[in-house]
C-alpha cells in the first residue's frame, strides 16, 4: 500500500470514529458514551479507536476542530450581498432535519456543559469562538465596504459577537422548542439582523 493510500485509509478511519462518536454524544451525552459504545457504533474494536485517539477528550477536541473548519468554510462562502436571514433559516432547517454536515444543537449544549468542567475543552471552544468571531467580523467589514460604509474593527467584533449569540441562542431554542414557528423565526430575524449587520 503506497503512502497516499495509507493516509486516505487513516483519514477514513478517523472520520468513521468521529461520526460514531458524534452520534453517541448526541444520543447519550459525553459521560454516558463510552469508548466501547463508540466502537460498537463505528463497527470496530476499541483497540483500533485508541490507535487514532488516545482518549474520549481527544475525540471531542477533534470534533471541535472539525466543526470550526466547517464554520470557517461556511463564513468564507458569504458574499457582501448574501441574504443572511435566509442563511439562518436554512441553518435552522438543517438542524431540524438532523443534517450531519452541520453543528448539532444538542452537541453544542453538551460541549458547552462540558467546558464548564473541563479546562481543555473550554480552551478549545474559546479559541474556536475567537476564530469564528474574527471571520464574521472580516465579512461584516467587507459587507459594509461594498455599500460604501466603513465600520471599525471594534464595532465589527461586537457585531460578530452578536451574530454568534443569535445563532447559538437559536440552537438552544431548537432543542427546547423544536416546533418553533417559522413565522416567528422570520420576524425575529427581520427585527434583529438589520441592527446587527446593518
CA pair distance 76, 26, nearest whole angstrom = 27
Residues 116, 177, single domain; the answer is yes
What are the tens digits of pLDDT across the range 32-43? 999 999 999 999
Same domain, 21 and 93: no
* pTM of the predicted model as reported, rounded to 2 decimal places: 0.88
**103-149 tens-digit pLDDT:** 899 999 999 999 999 999 999 999 999 999 999 999 999 999 998 99
Count CB neighbours of 126 within 10 A.
Answer: 12
All three cell numbers of 51? 490507535
Claim to verify: residue 176 and residue 140 sit in the same structural domain: yes
- For residues 29 and 127, state if they share a domain: no
Q: Which of these three, 31, 54, 77, is where a domain ends?
A: 54
Domain match, 152 and 77 both: yes
Please compute the mean of the pLDDT values over residues 159-184 and round it to a whole number.
Answer: 95
One domain for residues 3 and 62: no
Range of the domain at 24: 1-54
The domain boundary residue, chosen from 54, 77, 97: 54
Domain endpoint, select from 14, 29, 54: 54
Give CA torsion, residues 102, 103, 106, 108, to 10 deg.
180
Q: How many domains does the chain have?
A: 2
pLDDT digits (tens, 9 = 90+) for 15-54: 999 999 999 999 999 989 999 999 999 999 989 999 999 9
Q: 77 and 165: one domain?
A: yes
Amino acid at each position: 500500500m503506497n503512502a497516499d493510500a495509507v493516509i486516505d485509509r487513516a483519514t477514513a478511519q478517523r472520520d468513521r470514529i468521529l461520526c460514531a462518536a458524534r452520534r453517541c454524544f448526541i444520543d447519550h451525552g459525553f459521560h454516558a458514551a463510552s469508548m466501547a459504545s463508540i466502537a460498537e457504533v463505528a463497527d470496530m474494536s476499541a483497540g483500533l479507536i485508541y490507535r487514532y485517539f488516545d482518549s474520549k477528550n481527544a475525540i471531542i477536541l477533534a470534533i471541535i476542530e472539525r466543526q470550526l473548519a466547517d464554520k470557517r468554510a461556511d463564513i468564507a462562502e458569504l458574499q457582501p450581498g448574501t441574504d443572511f436571514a435566509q442563511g439562518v433559516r436554512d441553518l435552522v432547517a438543517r438542524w431540524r432535519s438532523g443534517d450531519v454536515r452541520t453543528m448539532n444543537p444538542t452537541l453544542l449544549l453538551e460541549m458547552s456543559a462540558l467546558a464548564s468542567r473541563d479546562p481543555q475543552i473550554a480552551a478549545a471552544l474559546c479559541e474556536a469562538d475567537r476564530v469564528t468571531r474574527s471571520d464574521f467580523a472580516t465579512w461584516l467589514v467587507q459587507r459594509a465596504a461594498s455599500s460604501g460604509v466603513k465600520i471599525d474593527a471594534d464595532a465589527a467584533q461586537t457585531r460578530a459577537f452578536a451574530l454568534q449569540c443569535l445563532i447559538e441562542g437559536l440552537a438552544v431554542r431548537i432543542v427546547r422548542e423544536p416546533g418553533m414557528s417559522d413565522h416567528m423565526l422570520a420576524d425575529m430575524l427581520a427585527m434583529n439582523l438589520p441592527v446587527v449587520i446593518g
